[in-house]
Chain A
């Protein structure tokens, strides 16, 4: 076991823990990855949205969520054309600039830009770059079987990298760790939903996002510590509207943008880093672990604009999220040049119109630094709602 990659939060009061998490999430040098490697560990970088991290974990590797960063893509820019979202470029920049050293990179064809990543990345680094074809037809009766075999391919790849076997028992142990993590994240989101004044969206976000940067056991320790502290908080309940936030499934809005939103609204549910919460229930810990992971992906999972599932029409899923969170309005965001996100805006606005629910629409970029105008627009939106 490698030494702790993120010990800075231990022994601190809640506000300081949140601050340390924020610093880590905003640190574009990714110190936890460096520490893991310094301890002799290997790292599997996986691009948004979802990756079965349990498999890498079972091999003793660090699964690292590649989600871009607020950096200038000075080297990556020359590898791409124009009209692309920022996360594609900044993710590659992390690799080219040496900010993040990986031993394996896995991407998924979540969108037309991201599906090019394995090719571009592979031409520019010396470690293997692979595509994991998660099923785009989860409604096929054969999809779970296919996915199980894909996961077996990932297992072989990770075993080769780790130079050790990855047994079913290893996988069961990892699934248990991740099940606990999922339960803790569900508790975090329940708190946002039930007592949102105790957990502003930006604070909830950093506490969750740390999970993509550290071994999951460490994240579990963190959440186990902070959840009781959050629940015992005595922050005043303010007269703010309850909203859901959509549009954070891939490129992440800057933390300052989330803070600006938190000043006006209680975000009671969102799709930020939805991949970390993709499996909505515990994965069964008996039988074939790969089959269990595959079936969980197919049948017990969240939704996003980049997965087509006949059981999850996008308009209905938005309204369900809104109803389940007892939200009054929605903030709909799309990353600039994000095709799936921009297309979803049309679906979502029409669905909300059909129910007469108010919404606020905006585009964002992970590198944006000015939020004044957006905050004023948002405040106006909220005031309109409050005084209507």
Chain B
């Protein structure tokens, strides 16, 4: 009986709290916009929230704003507006939705977005930099490009402590010092290293929690759906990085997921197939997209999205609070590099994921909008299938633009994929050992 009461209290808490935190975040942004406060615009791969919070910038993630516009089914209006302004139908939909948000003075379905006082773009995605240039021209504010060298080839990530790694780390550290000086100038606040320690401490809890939550989904049944639930947690991991709410959320989430794992509590879906998702979700029909899989009992147990779009928080990196700036440089380098590796050199990680999570199938979902994520997926699929005998589905659509989302065609492909999975399982059962 006691267990039942606890379960009622704890199961589903992460989703509810995540939704509440999101509303709070956007309420805060709306208040900042109304007060005329300038925000720090950042991106999910290398947001540096830990550092920017020291200067009390409201934090804006334009990628998250844009995907929210798609989830709330108003993306088409925003895309049209940006295309009328001159942007091509063939560029990133996130950029265009943001351009329209800016042209509308920050009007967004979740509130009002403050204008940027500063923007930080890492090179993890080239579009980040081109996007930042748009704000530079619109507002004349500084764009800081934080250059993070990635792995120079497959399997060539330099190990921490080695000479090559140290060279990269020194470059990142030097840029962070330059960024701090810029933040001081823009915010009018002096850098306070003790406040940085505090924010790094909260980021440590978040990183460790995120890593643990992902690990707990190895359970059967999976304790959360990496596509639907995972996107909520991912939003908190980004928006509340380096904040006490983020740390508390992930501490609670670990307890919730551990509780479920211990008791064999899965997602609301009767789990028949354990799937891995590679790519970016189809946000214009997000719920339906998820249902196309869950209707067949398909549950996503992990995804590369939860890795790269968390900026590498999946590594669980722990900042050394005794040497915060050096450690920040090291953590940012490792995290962003890992995020890049999980897009460009992902074969080995996928093989590991398939094995560790007991996957029955892998779904590759390249999208028109994002060449960073999508360009190499067809080839990755070939490489994965050469190493593991696992069924996979390759289905293209978009994360923003409903014009390139064909739900009926997608359903046909997905249905056929599950029928294939079922036939394969029957065949395996019928084959004498």
Interface residues of A (CB under 8 A from B): 78-84, 88, 109-113, 115-116, 118-120, 122-124, 128-133, 135-137, 139-143, 145-146, 149-150, 153, 305-306, 308, 310, 313-315, 334, 336-337, 339-340, 342-343, 345-347, 349-350
Residues of chain A within 8 A of B139, CB atoms compared: none
Residues of chain B within 8 A of A122, CB atoms compared: 153-154
Q: Is the CB of B378 within 8 A of A84?
A: no
Which residue in chain A gives the minimum CB-CB distance to B341?
A119
Q: Which 10 A-B pairs have the closest CB atoms?
A: A142-B174, A116-B375, A112-B372, A112-B371, A137-B147, A116-B376, A342-B88, A81-B366, A146-B171, A79-B379
Which residue in chain A gives the minimum CB-CB distance to B125?
A112
Q: Is the CB of B152 within 8 A of A308?
A: no
Residues of chain A within 8 A of B144, CB atoms compared: 137
Residues of chain A within 8 A of B151, CB atoms compared: 131
B253 within 8 A of A: no
Q: Is the CB of A339 within 8 A of B86?
A: no
Provide the bound-state CA to CA distance between A265 and B225, in Å.
59
Q: Is the CB of B123 within 8 A of A109?
A: yes
Closest chain-A Cβ to B42's Cβ sits at a distance in Å of 16
B383 within 8 A of A: yes
Provide the bound-state CA to CA distance between A142 and B146, in Å.
12
Size of the chain B interface, CB-CB below 8 angstroms:
58
Closest chain-B Cβ to A159's Cβ sits at a distance in Å of 16
Provide the bound-state CA to CA distance between A150 and B164, in Å.
9
Closest chain-A Cβ to B366's Cβ sits at a distance in Å of 4
Given pairs A119-B380, A146-B149, 18 additional interface contacts (CB within 8 A): A79-B382, A80-B379, A116-B371, A116-B372, A123-B383, A133-B150, A136-B129, A136-B145, A142-B175, A146-B147, A306-B126, A308-B143, A308-B145, A313-B136, A339-B126, A339-B371, A342-B90, A350-B86
Residues of chain A within 8 A of B378, CB atoms compared: 78-81
Closest chain-B Cβ to A145's Cβ sits at a distance in Å of 8
B33 within 8 A of A: no
Closest chain-B Cβ to A270's Cβ sits at a distance in Å of 21
Q: Is the CB of A146 within 8 A of B167?
A: yes
Q: Which of B366-388 contact A (CB under 8 A)?
A: 366, 368, 370-372, 374-380, 382-383
Contact for B126 among A110, A123, A146, A346, CB less than 8 A: A110
Interface residues of B (CB under 8 A from A): 85-88, 90-92, 95, 123, 125-127, 129-130, 132-133, 136-137, 143-147, 149-154, 156, 164, 167-168, 170-171, 174-175, 178, 340, 343-345, 347, 366, 368, 370-372, 374-380, 382-383, 396
With contacts A142-B170, A306-B126 taken as known, whether A131 is within 8 angstroms of B153 at the C-beta atoms is yes
With contacts A84-B371, A131-B152 taken as known, whether A349 is within 8 angstroms of B86 at the C-beta atoms is yes
Closest chain-A Cβ to B150's Cβ sits at a distance in Å of 7
Residues of chain A within 8 A of B126, CB atoms compared: 109-112, 115, 306, 339-340
Q: Is the CB of A137 within 8 A of B146?
A: yes
Residues of chain A within 8 A of B380, CB atoms compared: 119, 123
Contact for B175 among A111, A140, A310, A343, CB less than 8 A: A140
Task: Enumerate 19 A-B pairs (CB-CB under 8 Å) in ascending A order.
Answer: A79-B376, A80-B378, A83-B368, A83-B374, A112-B371, A113-B371, A113-B375, A116-B376, A119-B380, A129-B154, A131-B150, A133-B123, A136-B123, A145-B171, A146-B167, A310-B143, A337-B90, A346-B86, A349-B86
Provide the bound-state CA to CA distance between A120 and B137, in Å.
35
Provide the bound-state CA to CA distance between A145 and B151, in Å.
19
Q: Is the CB of B127 within 8 A of A140?
A: no
Closest chain-A Cβ to B157's Cβ sits at a distance in Å of 12
Provide the bound-state CA to CA distance between A78 and B146, in Å.
34
Q: Is the CB of A118 within 8 A of B86?
A: no
With contacts A131-B153, A133-B152 taken as known, whether A141 is within 8 angstroms of B178 at the C-beta atoms is yes
Q: Is the CB of A120 within 8 A of B376?
A: yes
Provide the bound-state CA to CA distance between A128 and B156, in Å.
11
Provide the bound-state CA to CA distance between A249 and B85, in Å.
24
Contact for B178 among A123, A140, A308, CB less than 8 A: A140
Q: Is the CB of A141 within 8 A of B136?
A: no
Residues of chain A within 8 A of B170, CB atoms compared: 142, 146
Closest chain-A Cβ to B11's Cβ sits at a distance in Å of 38
Q: Is the CB of A340 within 8 A of B147?
A: no
Q: Is the CB of A112 within 8 A of B87?
A: no
Residues of chain B within 8 A of A313, CB atoms compared: 136-137
Residues of chain B within 8 A of A139, CB atoms compared: 145
Residues of chain A within 8 A of B377, CB atoms compared: 81
Residues of chain B within 8 A of A343, CB atoms compared: 87-88, 91, 95, 130
Which residue in chain B gives the minimum CB-CB distance to A347?
B137
Closest chain-A Cβ to B345's Cβ sits at a distance in Å of 5
Residues of chain B within 8 A of A337, CB atoms compared: 90
Which residue in chain A gives the minimum CB-CB distance to B136?
A313
User: Of A83, A118, A349, which is in contact with the most chain B CB atoms at under 10 Å from its CB?
Assistant: A83
Contact for B92 among A88, A118, A339, A347, CB less than 8 A: A339
